Amino acid sequence: MALVTSRKMFQMAYKNGYAVGAFNVNNMEITQGIIQAISEAKAPLILQISKGAREYASMSYLRAIIDVAVRENPDIPICMHLDHGDSFELCKQCVQDGFTSVMIDGSHLPFEQNVKLTADVVKYAHDHGVVVEGELGQLGGIEEHVVGVDDVSAHLTNPDQAIEFIQKTGVDSLAVAIGTSHGAYKFKTEPKLAFDVIEKIQKKAPGFPLVMHGSSSVLQEFKNLINKYGGKMPDAMGVPEEAITRASKMAVCKVNIDTDLRMALTAKIRQVFAEKPGEFDPRKYLGPGREAIKQMVLHKLKVLGCAGRASECL
């Protein structure tokens, strides 16, 4: 089947209490690892492409890889999503490039400017059958071009503003700030997420899908492997998986995962280089890295509760 929007995915996720994994892709091996897990688990999938990924691999290469994945998995609904679009022009270009979902991130702007920018993107995208994700409130940490705030607790999404934002923009989903943070070094102590923000928005806008950014868990398995084989990530800490599961049973229908993919790939490559220092065949270290991504994604699908849900999202 062809690429789909996330509309049906979010309807079913909200109704049945799970979230769809949105995984960032930068190359063939990462995409293959994700697809292999999704195909095995029969889960719906959102493949995210960031501005950095477009600059690294070029859209033509990434689109070709995704086209193969879609063609080889006709029973899996796959949405191609722009992650953290930062301008109307970029979102417009991605719509023209065949994306089925785009995010416009105006969270750093004053409220009314964010509303106007998001509404402009929504109008253009909807005219072309594409759905739009907006963002209100700000996260911490750093992810590619996105630099967060230092004190996430002071920049949480205001539930009343969120309802006004949804009504004024016509946006299809909303990324909310509830205390998460981008990157591997998210927190100094275990975070306490603001589930009350989700609950208040859910009460005021029942059925409306929310999105969690900065939601990688920085899995200890991969952090330990990286550190064992020469890395230095002693203070890396992510979002507890039980918190992600709890949010997925509420109004959160999409959970973004990027850092965990990078860590899985890097950990296995480091292990191969350490155990086989003479290895020079990329297939011999990228292959194990791809398998590590597959196993990590299979684990995440259980955390999100979306394994086995592909058919209901078609």
Give the integer Cα–Cα distance in Å for 143 and 195.
23
In sequence order, what are the beta bridge partners of 257? 23
* pLDDT for the residue numbered 237: 79
* pLDDT for the residue numbered 191: 73
CB neighbours of residue 155 within 10 Å? 17
* pLDDT for the residue numbered 99: 97
- Report all structural domains of the chain as residue ranges with CATH numbers, in order of start: 7-313 (3.20.20.70)
Give the integer Cα–Cα distance in Å for 213 and 133.
12
φ/ψ of 228, rounded to 5, equals: -65, -35
Active-site pick, 67, 75, 83, 235: 83
Per-residue pLDDT of the chain (314 residues; tens, 9 = 90+): 799 999 999 999 999 999 999 999 999 999 999 999 999 999 999 999 998 999 999 999 999 999 999 999 999 999 999 999 999 999 999 999 999 999 999 999 999 999 999 999 999 999 999 999 999 987 654 444 544 444 555 579 999 999 999 999 999 999 999 988 756 555 566 678 899 999 999 999 999 999 999 888 889 999 999 999 999 988 777 889 999 999 999 999 999 999 999 999 999 999 999 999 999 999 999 999 999 999 999 999 999 999 999 999 99
* pLDDT for the residue numbered 192: 80
Active site includes 67? no
* pLDDT for the residue numbered 138: 75
* pLDDT for the residue numbered 266: 97
Q: Considering only CA atoms, which of 101, 100, 119, 99 is closest in space to residue 109?
A: 119
